[in-house]
A and B are shown apart, each in its own frame.
Chain A
Amino acid sequence: MGIIKAAKLFYDYVSKDEHDEIEEVIHAVSGVDLDVEAGQFIAILGHNGSGKSTLAKQMNALLVPTGGTLWVKEMDTSQPENVWNVRQTAGMVFQNPDNQIIASLVEEDVGFGPENLGVPTEDIWKRVNQGLKSVGMLEYSHHSPNRLSGGQKQRVAIAGVMAMEPECIVLDEPTAMLDPNGRKEVIETVRQLNQEKKVTVILITHYMDEVVHADKVYVMDDGKIVLSGTPRQVFSQVEYLKQLRLDVPQVTELAYELRQSGVDVPEGILTIEELVESLERFKSR
Chain B
Amino acid sequence: MGIRLEHVNYIYSPDNAFRKQALRDVNLEIQDGEFIGLIGHTGSGKSTLIQHLNGLLRATSGQIYYNEQNIYDDKYRMIDLRSQVGLVFQYPEHQLFEMTVLKDVCYGPKNLGLDDDAAVERAKEALAMVGMTEKDYSKSPFELSGGQKRRVAIAGVLAMHPQVIVLDEPTAGLDPKGRNDILNQISALHRQTGITIILVSHSMEDVAKYVDRIIVMNRGEVFMDDTPKEIFRQSEALERVGLAAPQVTYVMRQLHKIFPELPEDVTTVEEAKEALLHCLEADK
A-side interface residues toward B, CB under 8 Å? 46-49, 95, 147, 149-152, 173, 176-183, 206, 208-209, 242, 245-247, 249-251, 253-254, 257-258, 261, 263, 272-273, 275-276, 279-280, 282-284
Contacts and interface: CB of A to CB of B under 8 A. Distances in A.
Looking at B43, B169, B176, B259, which has the most chain A CB atoms within 10 Å of its CB?
B176
A182 B163 CA distance: 33
A92 to B, nearest CB: 17
A251 B176 contact: no
* 9 cross-chain pairs, A with B, having the tightest CB-CB distances, nearest first: A245-B177, A247-B176, A149-B42, A151-B42, A181-B242, A47-B175, A250-B247, A179-B41, A250-B248
Contacts of A177: 90, 169, 172-173, 202
Interface stretch (B62-70, B185-193, B222-230, B275-283): B275-283
B258 A180 contact: no
Interface stretch (B101-109, B123-131, B249-257): B249-257
Contacts of A208: 176
A250 B246 contact: yes
A49 B269 CA distance: 28
A258 B41 contact: no
A150 B42 contact: yes
Q: In this complex, which of B42, B205, B259 has the most chain A Cβ atoms within 10 angstroms of its Cβ?
A: B42
Contact of A258 (B43, B247, B254, B277): B277
Nearest to B204: A180
Interface in B159-210: 169, 172-179, 202, 204-205
Given A247-B176, A250-B251, A179 B243 contact: yes
Contacts of B169: 177
Given A254-B269, A261-B277, A275-B251, A48 B243 contact: no
Contacts of B175: 46-48, 206, 245-246
B283 A282 contact: yes
A152 B41 CA distance: 11
B178 A245 contact: yes
A165 B40 CA distance: 33
B146 interface: yes
Determine the interface band of chain B, counting residues with CB < 8 A from chain A: 35 or more
A249 B283 CA distance: 27
B139 interface: no
A280 B204 CA distance: 27
B41 A181 contact: yes
22 contacts: A47-B177, A47-B178, A48-B174, A149-B42, A149-B43, A177-B90, A179-B243, A180-B204, A181-B242, A181-B243, A182-B242, A246-B175, A250-B247, A250-B269, A253-B269, A254-B272, A257-B273, A258-B276, A272-B247, A272-B250, A272-B254, A280-B258
A242 B175 CA distance: 11
B147 interface: yes
Contacts of A283: 258-259, 283
B243 A180 contact: yes
Contacts, number: 122
A176 B128 CA distance: 28
B244 interface: yes
A180 B242 contact: yes
A265 B260 CA distance: 20
Given A150-B42, A272-B247, A180 B202 contact: yes
A278 B169 CA distance: 36
Contact of B145 (A48, A147, A249): A48
Contact of A276 (B172, B178, B258): B258
Nearest to A143: B18
A56 to B, nearest CB: 15
Which interface residue of A206, A209, A258 has the most chain B CB atoms within 10 A? A206
Contacts of B247: 209, 249-251, 272
Contacts of B174: 48, 206
A242 B246 CA distance: 20
A182 B255 contact: no
Interface string B142-165: 000111000000000000000000
Given A179-B243, A250-B205, A272 B269 contact: no
Contacts of B250: 272
A282 B262 CA distance: 13
A279 B42 contact: no
Interface string B70-109: 0000000000000000000010000000000000000000
A183 B242 CA distance: 10
A181 B40 CA distance: 10
B255 A279 contact: yes
